[in-house]
Amino acid sequence: MDTLTDDLCYQALKTRDARFDGRFYTAVLTTGIFCRPICPAVTPKRGNVRFYPSAEAAMANGFRPCLRCRPEAAPGSPAAAGVHATLARAVRLVEEGTLDTNSVSDLAERLGITDRYLRQLYKRHTGVTPQQHAQARRLLRARQLIVDSNLSMTEIADIAGFGSLRRFNHSLKEAYGDAPTVYRRGLKQPTRNTTRRAPNDPFQPARDDLVLVLQARPPFDSKALLAFFRARAIPGLEAVGDNYYARALYIQGQSGLMICRPRADQPGLQVILRGPARQAILEVSGRVRRLFDLDADLPTIADHLSQDPLLHPVVTQHPGLRVPGCWHRFEFAIRAVLGQQISIAAARTLAGRLVACYGTPLPEDLVDGTGITHRFPEPEDLAGQPLNTLGLPHQRAETLARVATLFAEPGFADLNGSTLLEQLATLRGIGPWTLSYLALRGLGDPDAFPASDLGILKAASQLGGLTTPKALIRHAECWRPWRAYAAQYLWAALATHSLRQETTP
């Protein structure tokens, strides 16, 4: 498990240290059960435990998940999500179900590597093969949907990829020892929406909505995330209030409305899905985890960055600060280009015009009262359009058209991050700042760093006298591999001290 030794894991287990939740799992030889480090059960003897880097690895070795601490609800493993860019993409694709219909060789080809190397990467960082991960993840997700959603068993069997209710019941009984209905009755019943939402509160769950709970690795500053999204919300596409983020979506050929509400009882989100797109809940939940950066190992990141005297006061002042992600690479690429050299408010206005002109309208009964009217246009909707009618400078409109044409090519949006950035860099109008910002939020690169950003430079100057991109880049070497989080702290420092230079779309 890379940086975690068995002795360190056992110490974390004895103290039930929440910072390690999702980073390892404890399997007890005498019971055949595996748990999260925060499990309230009696700590087993040292000689009776084995440690695994993922829940999938524990299941592949014959252990069953604990009914008490529920490993399937733990935050995602940072080992699988951030150590290796290719592995991170592979894990995302497997968890979105790509191996339900494709082979490991197909997955490796999509990633641009050999299937042998993919298996080696997987085994080294997660402890299992891609197929074992897919099988265990299907079981874990099914159990999470049983406990944390309001779906019926038939819906869960279909969404989790079991093909039939009979196979679903057999697989879960074999894996967990009981039929699904047995342990749904034995745990807290998920919230059921028996009445329609109030007309004046369209952001609460309605009777036919799908509701799912997602946990975040603590600490989790949901207010900072909502403030960030609120300042950049595109009119007609998104709505952000004090306790919700809502947006239109189009996924797996279906439109829908998504509402994310921070939980009051523990770090995490309540995700509400409305409309036909609710069938894509597994892919939606994966996107939400990246959008809100739910799986970041913030204690480790904060400890590393706070060793630098320049960042120490900012890190201390902002516990739980996340790097906001994006919903889709194409959407974010367009947003980044629109925001070049203008304020956040101006970028919002332009993006709102683009959505109103080229986005697809949503059914009124789906979005009634939300202020949301359209979903974001697809690449083919923008390619070849006269985008200068939006009020854009001619060259900016041409850059947008070129980006849309590139994303309209089959498979472009799924390229690995470095290849995608290399191809975008060939386009006129795409400079270093745009590429760095796209890597930071659009691709989720934890070490991306837009050193030329005026806001970052202003904050660095105020905090430590670093006034040029070259000086800042040299200093930022000590922040690796978490420079994206350092950038977020610098933007936060700028806002805190009322020094905001609105340069980030």
Residues 490 and 351 in one domain: no
Query: What is the domain-level CATH number for residue 243?
Result: 3.30.310.20
Do the domain assignments include residue 370?
Answer: yes
Angle at 210 between CA 209 and CA 212, to 5 degrees: 140
Structure tokens at 457: 């430079």
Do the domain assignments include residue 371?
Answer: yes
Do the domain assignments include residue 397?
Answer: yes
**5 phi and psi, to 5 degrees?**
-95, 165
Query: What is the domain-level CATH number for residue 305?
Result: 1.10.1670.40
Quote the pLDDT of residue 95.
Answer: 74
CA distance 185 to 260: 26
Residues 401 and 341 in one domain: yes
Residue 79: count other Cβ atoms within 10 Å of its Cβ. 24
Do the domain assignments include residue 438?
Answer: no
Residues 271 and 346 in one domain: no
Do the domain assignments include residue 6?
Answer: no
Quote the pLDDT of residue 75.
Answer: 72
Residues 230 and 291 in one domain: yes
Quote the pLDDT of residue 497.
Answer: 63
> What residue ranges in 58-135 does DSSP mark as E strands?
64-65
Peptide bond into 481 cis (omega under 30): yes
Quote the pLDDT of residue 195.
Answer: 41
Residues 244 and 375 in one domain: no
Residue 35 appears among annotated catalytic residues: yes
Q: What is the pTM assigned to this prediction?
A: 0.80
What is the average pLDDT score of the chain? Answer: 86
Residues 316 and 454 in one domain: yes
Residues 310 and 338 in one domain: no
Q: Which of 33, 57, 64 is nearest to 143 (CA)?
A: 64
Residues 385 and 374 in one domain: yes
Do the domain assignments include residue 340?
Answer: yes
Structural domain containing residue 264: 210-295
β pairing state of 254-262 and 268-274? antiparallel
Q: Which of 92, 142, 372 is nearest to 259 (CA)?
A: 372
Residues 350 and 406 in one domain: yes
Structure tokens at 370: 């939300």
Do the domain assignments include residue 144?
Answer: no
Residues 214 and 284 in one domain: yes
Query: What is the domain-level CATH number for residue 366?
Result: 1.10.340.30
Contact 377, 356 (CB under 8 A): no
- Catalytic hit among 9, 35, 39, 260: 35
Task: Among 358, 391, 425, give the residue marking a domain's end.
Answer: 425
CA distance 305 to 315: 7
Quote the pLDDT of residue 309.
Answer: 94
Task: Show the low-confidence residues of the chain (pLDDT under 70).
Answer: 1-3, 76-85, 183-199, 497-505
Query: Which residue, chain included where needed, has tokens 């060939």?
Result: 426
Residue 445 appears among annotated catalytic residues: no
Residues 308 and 368 in one domain: no
Residues 241 and 370 in one domain: no
Quote the pLDDT of residue 82.
Answer: 45
| Count of structural domains within the chain | 3
- Catalytic hit among 21, 295, 445, 453: 453
Quote the pLDDT of residue 186.
Answer: 53
